[in-house]
Amino acid sequence: MTAQRKKRDSGASVRERILDTATELFYKQGFSNTGMRQIIQESGSVAASLYDHFPSKKELGIAYLARQEEKTLSDLGSLMERYPEVQEFLRAWVILKERQIRHYEFFGDPFAGFANQVMDSDPEYTEFLKGIAEKWMKMIRDYLSRAVASGQFTRNMDIQYVSRRVLMAYHGSITLWRMTKDLRYIREMEDSLREIFEDYTAR
């Protein structure tokens, strides 16, 4: 391996290590509560390396959101692909969230948490978060469109409206669990989601 290749690979691994550390800290203790010095220390890097890859905390924050977006949409997409029947998907979604919570892998919605901390401090954050929400909504719309086409629901379903309600029910349950640490809000999320589809279930 050439010296240039080694340098490139080393740079990539340093970047990933920094981003891995930042992702864990931002998610668990909050973006505003995490300083660059802590990220440098816990990633085992030096300041020059961090700022070479992420010139500012803002750029690191955007990279964090992109990382969380990839994981969130990948998890959701995998469930949708595995469970084309919506009722089975809803059950699997709830089970996944409860399992992640029990294994200390889920501490609440990373995007809502980030938005609450940065508020309207930077329009780039706002636009990025808005873009994530739109992709999330599109994924749900596409999934429901397939469900309607397969005959699971009546064709008069307002897919745009139902998709919004699904996301609202999800976030409401997650927020109440986060506030109370009561897993009933996660388990009962399935009931809330099922109720949304009652009027559209094909007889």
> What values do phi and psi take at 201, rounded to 5?
-70, 125
Query: For residue 52, which of 64, 44, 60 has the smallest C-alpha distance?
Result: 60
Model confidence, pTM: 0.86
Tokens 């080694």, residue? Answer: 6
* Structure tokens, 132: 């994530």
Q: What share of the chain is helix, strand, coil (3-state, %, to 5)?
A: 80, 0, 20
3-class DSSP assignment, residue 79: helix
The amino acid present at 44, given as its one-letter code, is G
CATH code of 10-54, in short, is: 1.10.10.60
- Residue ranges of the chain that CATH labels 1.10.357.10: 63-198
Q: How confident is the model at residue 190 (pLDDT cuts 50, 70, 90)?
A: very high
Q: What is the pLDDT of residue 123?
A: 87
Query: For residue 178, which of 121, 100, 118, 126 has the smallest C-alpha distance?
Result: 100
Q: How confident is the model at residue 199 (pLDDT cuts 50, 70, 90)?
A: confident
Contact 94, 186 (CB under 8 A): yes
- The 10s digit of each residue's pLDDT in 81-102 is 999 999 999 999 999 999 999 9
For domain 63-198, say whether CATH 1.10.357.10 is its number: yes
> What values do phi and psi take at 79, rounded to 5?
-65, -40
Q: Is the pLDDT of residue 61 over 90?
A: yes
**How distant, in Å, are the alpha carbons of 82, 112, 139 from that of 153?**
19, 31, 17
- Neighbouring CB atoms inside 10 A of 6's CB total 10
Q: What is the pLDDT of residue 6?
A: 41
Mean pLDDT of the chain: 90
- Residue ranges of the chain that CATH labels 1.10.10.60: 10-54
Find all residues with CB under 8 Å of 75, minimum gap 6, and list them: 96
Query: For residue 141, which of 80, 82, 95, 192 has the smallest C-alpha distance?
Result: 80
- The 10s digit of each residue's pLDDT in 10-28 is 555 889 999 999 999 999 9
Q: Is the pLDDT of residue 8 over 80?
A: no
Strand partners, 153: 201
